Amino acid sequence: MTKAPFSGKGERASDLLGLIHSDVCGPMNTQARAGYQYFITFTDDFSRYGYIYLMRHKSEALERFKEFKNEVQNQHGKSIKALRSDRGGEYLSQDFDELLKGCGIVSQLTPPDTPQWNGVSERRNRTLLDMVRSMMSHTDLPTSFWGYALETAAFTLNRVPSKSVQKTPHEMWTGRRPNMSFMKIWGCKAYVKHQMSTKLEPKSEKCTFVGYPKETKPGLVYATKTHEQRDEPDVIAGDVDSETELPPPPPPPDRTAPARAARAHLSKSASRNVAVGKGLARKGIKTRSKDDQIQTKPALVDWMVCMNNKLLSAIPGQDKELARVSDTKNDSGVEVQWRANQAFDRSSETPTQPVV
């Protein structure tokens, strides 16, 4: 017996806080600064706006949910209707169950071994970790800074368009369009102005930008000299690390292509001229009428005439020469008409009038 493919699709919430998706991810191989090993996510189903909290132990999930519930219910004046999660032990504890029942929150637990039923949280975790790996690969910071990268990824993800909603999650959550002017490249060099400095000391300190704290703007920086992170109100982002490999410049345009095309055109013209010369050497082969016109450049026509004269002169027993008949100009260029003087085959006295 095989497992049936998953084809279910749950109903979307019709209002903010109608349904919250949650999941715990961890432990990580490397502890983040301050000893964090786990993180828990809370994602609103209607707006897809997400919250993230770092944790040292999985048992902190209850406290993080209380913190999340108090904040969002106070901001929107609404209460959480349902909480969807997997069957992790942190969600099945007695304290967690009593809190949900006391607040009137419906607990939606997914069936065993079916993470697809909690697909919103699973996909959010994967997207966040993909962003963290990409951000960490473009900086020299140690791996222990993954916590700052994770919070920055969640901050950015709330402010970019999503396929699941018509507007950005931030606009649907707050009713305002997000301000992107203060955002910076994570891990870039940043300069922080000193509040007090002497006349000979530098006016700023070179640091590394590591995130966006909730309390202050524009960002959180890490001082490489003192090995401490702090919130700074005046941060000026510098260039990306010089060791970052930039994409190679595009190759220069191929200027030999027109020359190759001209050579190919001349080769075709020479082949046609050779065929004409062979036809003139045979008897009974009908040549082209003298009314035919060849439309090309004058320099190329002169070259063709010279080649035809050489071919005609190689035929014994005939006296012939190409002559210019007329030159007429039109919108597309110069039309040149050529004919050959009457040449007689002295052996049979049969007149021929070849025209190229």
pLDDT of residue 65: 97
Spatial neighbors of 338 by CB under 8 A, at least 6 apart, are 294, 301, 305, 322, 323, 324, 325, 355, 356
In the listed set 125, 145, 176, which residue is the last one of a domain according to the structure?
176
Q: Which residue type occupies 32? A: A
Same domain as 195, residue 137: no
Could you say which residues of the chain have pLDDT below 50? 240-244, 266, 283, 285-287, 289-296, 320-356
Residue ranges of the alpha helices (H) in 145-256?
146-157, 169-174
| CATH code for the domain in which residue 37 is found | 3.30.420.10
Asked if residue 258 is part of any domain, the answer here is: no
CA dihedral (174, 179, 184, 185) positive or negative: positive
Same domain as 207, residue 58: no
Cβ neighbours of 308 (radius 10 Å): 22
Asked if residue 53 is part of any domain, the answer here is: yes
Same domain as 32, residue 92: yes
Give the C-alpha separation, 49 to 106, whole Å.
Answer: 20
Asked if residue 2 is part of any domain, the answer here is: no
Assigned token pair, 62: 């209850």
Asked if residue 27 is part of any domain, the answer here is: yes
**One-letter-per-residue 3-state SS of 36-49:** CCEEEEEEECCCCC
Judged on CB neighbours under 10 Å (0-12, 13-18, 19+), 237 is middle
Same domain as 157, residue 98: yes
Asked if residue 302 is part of any domain, the answer here is: yes
pLDDT of residue 76: 95
CB 352 within 8 A of CB 279: no
Asked if residue 202 is part of any domain, the answer here is: yes
Same domain as 142, residue 57: yes
Asked if residue 274 is part of any domain, the answer here is: no
Same domain as 94, residue 226: no
Burial state string for 260-298 with b = 16 or more CB within 10 A and e = fewer than 16: eeeeeeeeebeeebeebbeebeeeeeeeeeeeeeeebee
Same domain as 165, residue 16: yes
pLDDT of residue 316: 60
In the listed set 176, 199, 219, which residue is the last one of a domain according to the structure?
176
Give the C-alpha separation, 208 to 216, whole Å.
Answer: 17
pLDDT in tens, 120-173: 999 999 999 999 999 999 998 999 999 999 999 999 999 999 999 999 999 999
Q: Bin 187: left if φ > 0, else alpha if -120 < ψ < 50, else beta.
A: left
pLDDT of residue 353: 46
Same domain as 40, residue 167: yes
Asked if residue 308 is part of any domain, the answer here is: yes
Residue 133's H or E segment, with its range, is helix 119-137
Assigned token pair, 90: 């942190």
Same domain as 102, residue 38: yes
pLDDT of residue 216: 65
Spatial neighbors of 344 by CB under 8 A, at least 6 apart, are 318, 319, 350, 351, 352
**73 three-state secondary structure:** helix
CB 322 within 8 A of CB 340: yes
Give the C-alpha separation, 50 to 124, whole Å.
Answer: 9
**Which structural domain, as residue segments, surrounds residue 139?**
11-176
Backbone angles phi, psi at 236, to 5 degrees: -115, 120
Number of independent structural domains in the chain: 3
In the listed set 159, 176, 193, which residue is the last one of a domain according to the structure?
176
pTM given for the model: 0.64
Same domain as 124, residue 27: yes
Same domain as 84, residue 126: yes
pLDDT of residue 214: 78
Assigned token pair, 97: 């169950």
Same domain as 148, residue 58: yes
CB 147 within 8 A of CB 33: yes
Cβ neighbours of 114 (radius 10 Å): 14
